[in-house]
Chain A
Amino acid sequence: MARRVQLLLGTRKGAFILESDPARREWDLRGPYCETWPIHHLIRSPDGTLYAGGGSPWYGASVWRSEDEGATWTQSSEGLTYGEDGPKLMTVWNLTASDGSLFAGVEPAGLFRSEDRGATWLHVSGLRDHPSRPSWEPGNGGLCLHSIVPHPTERERMWVGISAVGTFATDDRGHTWEARNHGVRADFMPDPHPEFGQCVHKLALHPARPDVLYQQNHCGVYRSDDGGRGWTEITPGLPSQFGFPLVVHPHDPRTIFVIPLNGDDKGRHMIDGATAVWRSSDAGDSWQRLSDGLPQQDAYLGVLREAMATDSLEPAGIYLGTSNGQVFASADEGGSWRQVADYLPAVWSVETSIVED
């Protein structure tokens, strides 16, 4: 049985797929898919279906589905609305498949669930019923719900991340939600330690230790050892507190990867034009710079919140896509890198999939 490794790319102008054998040295590109709509997120669900979420400036937000490896697509947004009296739903930022359900995080921030593989959608209204909601304000990227983190075994539990609002958790399958931001700074607010208003950029966990959460925030990198009730800053050792993506090693819950950028008011690109991924192997106590094979001169690249991913092979592959349209791949856990695509539209998301033929 042959195995293929796929990188699923959402870009500003369509979805693409890069494909390799498990050696992960040579990659073939196909696409663009989804009629070149802006696609924030392309994923593969456990049953093999491809889903893409995004929004057209003309035709609105929708979720695309392909059951034949991208050859043909359908799309639907039935139920993906706040109704006539609610705000206009702009786009889909994140799709997450969990326990037979498909979840969509959208802008303006909210959570939707589909029980029929994306054909129709139900609003998880409990989140927008939270008493803080009238005070939610958009950040630079919009008021987007970008991180959906289901508990791996307890289906009633879930965390979400909303830019410029913070982390919220539910223990009752979305009926009620609680802000989980204690210990996370919001330096841009008059009170830098509010109950909510923290600008989480990416939220992640490892399924083997589901009460350990990590987040890259506008104001630092943090770890929580108690399901988000309290956060400890793990920024020391990094060259910048600012970045977007954060991923957890597929086989080691204590190993994480981030991409520090030069700062929120300095262009949000690589520090000094030198590209680097930073890895911690001790849950954030110390950090190591990884740059072998990444451009080190005049490389003013940006990497957005969904644009870094790992695969599940051994050793693990790490991948990043840039706002400038490149994709870089490492087949040795970040030890060395090679560029595997160039000249793509701005890459907004990278996910991986292992396909067995």
Chain B
Amino acid sequence: MASVHLPRSLVTLFPDPPPRQLELDAATVLELVEQLEERWPGVRDRLCQPGPAFREHINVFIDGERVGIDARLSATSVVHFIPAVAGG
């Protein structure tokens, strides 16, 4: 089971919000996003643009290494979704 960490600014977009940290069994990051979408409809649109690919300012890391949407997961992967730090 991969350990998935979601940002506060994402989970608060949903009336029945996902937990900030959860365990999911998925082979790739895309599959992980699809599992999130099944449980919290709309989450895929917030993280991904058509393609699908991650939105420009959404960074995803597996075990500390930045990855794309097709990256593979292991049973011990730690996945962080992190919006880019910016703004004013």
Tell me whether B23 is interfacial, beta carbon within 8 Å.
no
- Chain B residues contacting A83 (CB-CB under 8 Å) are 50
Interface segment, one of B27-35, B41-49, B66-74: B41-49
Measured CB to CB, the residues of A under 8 A from B are 35, 57-60, 62, 72-78, 81-84, 86, 88
B58 engages A58 (CB within 8 Å) = yes
Given contacts A57-B87, A58-B55, A74-B15, whether A35 and B45 have CB atoms under 8 Å apart is no
Which residue of chain B has the shortest Cβ distance to A79 in the bound complex?
Answer: B45
A77 engages B45 (CB within 8 Å) = yes
- In the bound complex, CA of A84 to CA of B12 (Å): 27
Measured CB to CB, the residues of B under 8 A from A are 9-10, 12-15, 42, 45-47, 49-51, 55, 57-58, 83-84, 86-87
- In the bound complex, CA of A28 to CA of B81 (Å): 38
Given contacts A58-B84, A88-B49, whether A78 and B10 have CB atoms under 8 Å apart is no
Given contacts A76-B42, A81-B50, A83-B50, whether A59 and B55 have CB atoms under 8 Å apart is yes
A59 engages B46 (CB within 8 Å) = yes
Distance in Å: Cβ of B85 to nearest Cβ of chain A: 10
Distance in Å: Cβ of A81 to nearest Cβ of chain B: 6
A-B contacts besides A60-B46, A77-B45, 15 pairs, CB < 8 Å: A35-B9, A35-B13, A57-B57, A57-B86, A58-B55, A58-B58, A59-B46, A60-B45, A62-B46, A74-B14, A77-B42, A78-B42, A82-B50, A84-B50, A84-B51
- In the bound complex, CA of A82 to CA of B50 (Å): 9
Distance in Å: Cβ of A247 to nearest Cβ of chain B: 31
A75 engages B13 (CB within 8 Å) = yes
- Chain A residues contacting B86 (CB-CB under 8 Å) are 57
